[in-house]
Amino acid sequence: MASISLMPIETLERSLKERFPDAQVVLDRPRKASGAWFLDIALNQHPVIVQWQQGKEFGVSSSPEKVFGEGADEVYKDEEAAYGRIVSLLLSRTFTSPPPAVSLKELRKENGLSQAEIAEILERQQGEISKIERRKDVLVSTLADYVRAVDGELQIIVRLRDGRIRRVQLEDAVESNPRPAALAR
Amino acid sequence: MGLGKAERFQEFLKRLEKSTPASSHDDAFKLLGETLNQVEDEFTNIPFQPEHWQTDGRMYPPEEDNAREVEGRSDVVRYRHKAHNTFIRDNGAIEIRDVDGKVLFEKCGSDGRGVDLQ
């Protein structure tokens, strides 16, 4: 009897159906096998979407938002890593973290702030802000202060090969001066 | 420059709505791609890099690799995105739905007929 060779995403589908017999697991096949495959999973109405294509990684996404034309939030090199992450998401009912790659300058502009305004918040010279935005290496504390100045919070996320996600808390992390209320928007 | 994704998506739909109806699948496919890329080029600094598998903050139009057949409708192609499906009929009609089936956009082809899914 000829053996049937399954696509890695078909193997993933079988594994998830076995692990979560009560989940809805639906494979959305492309017109051509070389195209992009999607695996839609829902457990207790918590959704996870997996994308896969030959020659590419497994994309994993779980989000309450539906943004048109986006790629996967997270990518995993192999089926084992993707499976671990999917299980984690379904059991914890948490969401994936899309990493839109923006520079500090883009982050500042997206939030409608000038270098001068950031400088005032951080009590630094505008020239220093310009240097920070152009550096390849910055101190974590400097980055944290800059992110707070654009009304954000810096989180250091570690994604391990087996799919686990951890947020790293640095030793002796000290809360820097909060964003001045006068500049709150 | 600097609109959020939701605003850019609405701008994309607005421009699609105003555009001349397409008369074929290929014309509609091209219209979708050109319109969305124009909006993204105009309102973001994110370069067009469709080979990236992971999201980069930019919205990408349907691609051939995402095509699916529609059961019982040989005249319609479904293009799957992570959270949406874009349907294109051979008369140039376009329909965009989210993965839950909610219709977000409809445009007839040049013959005045829509995708007309059930």
Note whether residue B52 is domain-resident: no
**Domain covering A104-183, topology:** 434 Repressor (Amino-terminal Domain) (1.10.260)
Note whether residue B49 is domain-resident: no
Domain holding B111, by residue range, is 1-43+65-118
Residue A163: pLDDT over 80: no
For chain B, the domain total comes to: 1
Mean pLDDT of chain B: 94
Q: Mind listing the pLDDT tens digit for each residue in B14-70?
A: 999 999 999 999 999 999 999 999 999 999 878 888 887 888 889 999 999 999 999
Instruction: Report the DSSP pairing between strands A37-43 and A46-52.
Output: antiparallel
What is the model's pLDDT at position A143?
92
Note whether residue B102 is domain-resident: yes
- Give chain B as a DSSP string: ----HHHHHHHHHHHHHHSPPPSSHHHHHHHHHHHHHHHHHHH------TT--B--S------GGGEEEETTEEEEEEEE-SSEEEEEETTS-EEEEETT--EEEEE--TTS------
CB contact under 8 A, A69 and B81: yes
Residue with the bigger pLDDT between A162 and A93: it is A93
Do B28 and B94 form a contact (C-beta atoms < 8 A)? yes
Tell me the domain boundaries of chain A.
8-92, 104-183
Distance in Å, alpha carbon of B66 to nearest chain A alpha carbon:
5
d(CA A47, CA B100): 11
Do B15 and B35 form a contact (C-beta atoms < 8 A)? yes
d(CA A6, CA A29): 13
Do B39 and B15 form a contact (C-beta atoms < 8 A)? yes
| Confidence class for position A1, pLDDT limits 50, 70, 90 | low
Residue A81: pLDDT over 90: yes
Distance in Å, alpha carbon of B63 to nearest chain A alpha carbon:
9
Q: Mind listing the pLDDT tens digit for each residue in A94-125?
A: 999 866 567 888 888 878 899 999 999 999 99
What is the model's pLDDT at position A164?
57
User: Radius of gyration over alpha carbons of chain B, in Å?
Assistant: 14
| Confidence class for position A184, pLDDT limits 50, 70, 90 | very low
Nearest neighbour of A53 by CB, restricted to B55, B65, B83: B65
Q: Quick check: B10 contacting A, CB < 8 Å?
A: no
Q: Which chain A residue is nearest to residue B85, measuring alpha carbons?
A: A68
Note whether residue B99 is domain-resident: yes
What is the model's pLDDT at position A87?
96
d(CA B100, CA A180): 43
d(CA A34, CA B35): 27
Note whether residue B51 is domain-resident: no
What mean pLDDT is predicted for residues A23-47?
96
Which residue of A26, A70, A109 is the best one to mutate when testing the B interface, meaning the one whose CB has the most B CBs within 10 A? Answer: A70
Residue A8: pLDDT over 80: yes
CB contact under 8 A, B67 and A71: no
- Which residues fall within 8 angstroms of residue A55, CB to CB, at 6 or more apart? none
| Confidence class for position B1, pLDDT limits 50, 70, 90 | low
Note whether residue B10 is domain-resident: yes
Region for A163 from its dihedrals, namely left if φ exceeds 0, alpha if ψ lies in -120 to 50, beta otherwise:
left
Note whether residue B53 is domain-resident: no
What mean pLDDT is predicted for residues B67-89?
97
d(CA A149, CA A180): 9
What is the model's pLDDT at position A172?
60
User: Radius of gyration over alpha carbons of chain A, in Å?
Assistant: 21
Instruction: Report the DSSP pairing between strands B94-98 and B84-89.
Output: antiparallel
The two three-digit tokens of residue A111, written as one number: 């939030």
